[in-house]
Chain A
Amino acid sequence: MNGQNGHKSVLVIGGGIAGIQASLDLANMGFKVYLVEKSPSIGGRMAQLDKTFPTNDCAMCILAPRMIEANSHSNIDLYTYSEVEDVSGEVSDFKVKIKRNSPFVDWSKCTGCGLCEEGCPVILPKEFDQGLGKRKAIFIPFPQAVPKKYTVDKREERPCKAACMDACPAHTNVLGYIKLIAEGEFQEAYKLIRDTNPLPASVGRVCYAPCEEACNRGQIDEPMAIRDLKRFAADQVNIEELEVPTVTKTDKKVAIVGSGPAGLAAANDLALKGHDVTIFEALPESGGMLRVGIPEYRLPKEILRKEIGYIQKLGVEIRTGVQVGKDIALEEIRGNYDALFIAAGAHGGMRLRMEGEELPGVIEGIRFLRAVNLGEKVEVGKKTAVIGGGNTAVDCARTAKRLGAEEVKIVYRRSRSEMPASAEETAAVEEEGIPIEFLTTPTRFFPGNGKLARMECVKMKLGEPDASGRPRPIPIEGSEFTTSVDTVIAALGQAPETEFVKEFGVSLSKRGMIEIDPETGATNIEGVFAGGDVVTGPAFVIDAIAAGKRAAHSIDRHLKGEPIEVKEEGKEPEKLSEEEVEDRKKRFPSQKRVRLRDEPIGERIKDFREVSLGYTVEEAIEEASRCLAGQIEGCIECHECAKRCEANAIAYTMQDEHIEIDVGAIILATGLDLYDVSPLTEYGYGKIKNVVTAIEFERLTAASGPTFGELKRPSDGKIPHAIAFIQCVGSRDFKHKAYCSSVCCMHATKEAILAYEHHPGTKSTIFYMDLRAVGKRFQEYVTRAKEEYNVTYIRSRPGRVAVNPENQNPIVWYEDTTTTETKNMEVDLVVLCQAMTPRGSKELAEMLGIELNEYGFVEVPDKLSHPVDSTRPGIFACGYVHSPRDIPDSVTQGSGAAARAAEVIAGGS
Chain B
Amino acid sequence: MEVLSPYKEATEVIIEAGGEPLRLCYQCGICTGTCPWNLVRGFIVRRIIHEAQLGATDFGNEEVWLCATCRACVQRCPRGVEIIDVMRAMRRAVVSLGIGIVPDALRISAKNIAGAGNPLGEAPEKRGDWAKDLGLKKFSPGTEILYFPCCVPAYDPDVKVVSRATATILSELGVDFGILGSEERCCGEAIRKAGYEDTFHSLAQSNINAFSSNDVKTVVVSSPHCYHTFKNEYPELGGEFQVIHITQYLAQLIDQGRLKFSKEINKRVIYSDPCYLGRHNGIYDEPRRVLQSISGLELIEFPDPREDSLCCGGGGGRIWMETVKGERFSDIRVEQALEKGADIIAVACPYCFLNYRDSVLTMDKAEVIEVKDVSELVAEAM
User: Which residues from chain A sit less than 8 Å from chain B, CB to CB?
Assistant: 681-682, 728, 732-736, 769, 795-800, 813-817, 820-822
Contacts and interface: CB of A to CB of B under 8 A. Distances in A.
Nearest to A732: B78
Given A735-B78, A821-B42, A814 B29 contact: yes
Interface stretch (B32-40, B228-236, B369-377): B32-40
B42 A798 contact: no
Contact of B308 (A682, A795, A822): A682
Given A797-B29, A815-B46, A733 B78 contact: yes
20 contacts: A682-B34, A682-B308, A728-B78, A732-B78, A733-B78, A734-B79, A735-B78, A735-B80, A736-B78, A796-B29, A797-B78, A799-B32, A799-B76, A815-B33, A817-B28, A817-B32, A822-B33, A822-B38, A822-B42, A822-B44
Given A817-B28, A822-B33, A800 B308 contact: yes
B307 interface: yes
A736 B79 CA distance: 11
A798 B78 contact: no
A827 to B, nearest CB: 15
B162 interface: no
B78 A681 contact: no
Interface in B35-54: 35, 38, 42-44, 46-47
Contacts of A798: 30, 33
B31 interface: yes
Interface in B49-82: 73, 76, 78-80
Contacts of B29: 795-797, 799, 814-817
A682 B78 CA distance: 13
A816 B38 CA distance: 13
Nearest to B307: A681
Contacts of B307: 681
B315 to A, nearest CB: 18
A741 to B, nearest CB: 13
B26 interface: yes
A641 to B, nearest CB: 45
B91 to A, nearest CB: 22
Nearest to B45: A815
A796 B33 contact: yes
B78 A815 contact: no
Contacts of A728: 28, 78
A7 B308 CA distance: 58
Given A797-B33, A799-B73, A817-B32, 8 more contacts: A728-B78, A735-B78, A796-B33, A798-B30, A799-B32, A799-B35, A822-B38, A822-B42
B27 interface: yes
A728 B28 CA distance: 10
Contacts of B34: 682, 799-800, 813
Contact of A820 (B28, B44, B78): B44
B307 to A, nearest CB: 6
Contacts of B42: 821-822
A795 to B, nearest CB: 8
A799 B78 CA distance: 11
A800 B38 CA distance: 11
Contact of B44 (A733, A736, A797, A815): A815
Contacts of B44: 815, 820, 822
Given A797-B28, A799-B35, A817 B78 contact: no
Contacts of A821: 42
B305 to A, nearest CB: 9
Contacts of A682: 34, 76, 308
A796 B80 CA distance: 17
A162 B35 CA distance: 59
Given A681-B308, A682-B34, A734-B79, A769 B28 contact: yes
Top 8 A-B residue pairs of the complex, sorted by shortest distance between their CB atoms:
A799-B33, A815-B32, A797-B28, A733-B78, A799-B34, A815-B29, A797-B30, A822-B38
A371 to B, nearest CB: 60
A797 B30 CA distance: 5
A817 B27 contact: yes
B104 to A, nearest CB: 28
Nearest to A730: B78
A813 B78 contact: no
Contacts of B38: 799, 813, 815, 822
A177 to B, nearest CB: 38
B32 A822 contact: yes
Nearest to B31: A799
A736 B35 CA distance: 21
Nearest to B30: A797
Contacts of A820: 44, 47
Nearest to B73: A799
Contacts of B79: 734
Contacts of A815: 29, 32-33, 38, 44, 46
Nearest to B76: A682
A685 to B, nearest CB: 13
B30 A799 contact: yes
A744 to B, nearest CB: 14
B330 to A, nearest CB: 18
Contacts of B47: 820
A825 to B, nearest CB: 11
Contacts of A681: 307-308
B49 to A, nearest CB: 11
A474 to B, nearest CB: 63
A728 to B, nearest CB: 7
Given A813-B33, A815-B33, A796 B308 contact: no
B79 to A, nearest CB: 6
A798 B28 CA distance: 8
A570 B32 CA distance: 68
Nearest to A736: B78
A769 B26 CA distance: 8
Contacts of B31: 799
Contacts of A733: 78
Contacts of A795: 29
Q: Which of B34, B43, B308 has the most CB of A within 10 A?
A: B34
Contacts of A799: 29-35, 38, 73, 76
A798 B32 CA distance: 8
Contacts of B80: 734-735
A817 B308 contact: no
Nearest to A680: B76
A820 B47 CA distance: 8
Interface centre among B28, B31, B44 (most CB of A within 10 A): B28
A799 B29 CA distance: 8
A735 B21 CA distance: 14
Interface in B7-34: 26-34
Contacts of B46: 815, 817
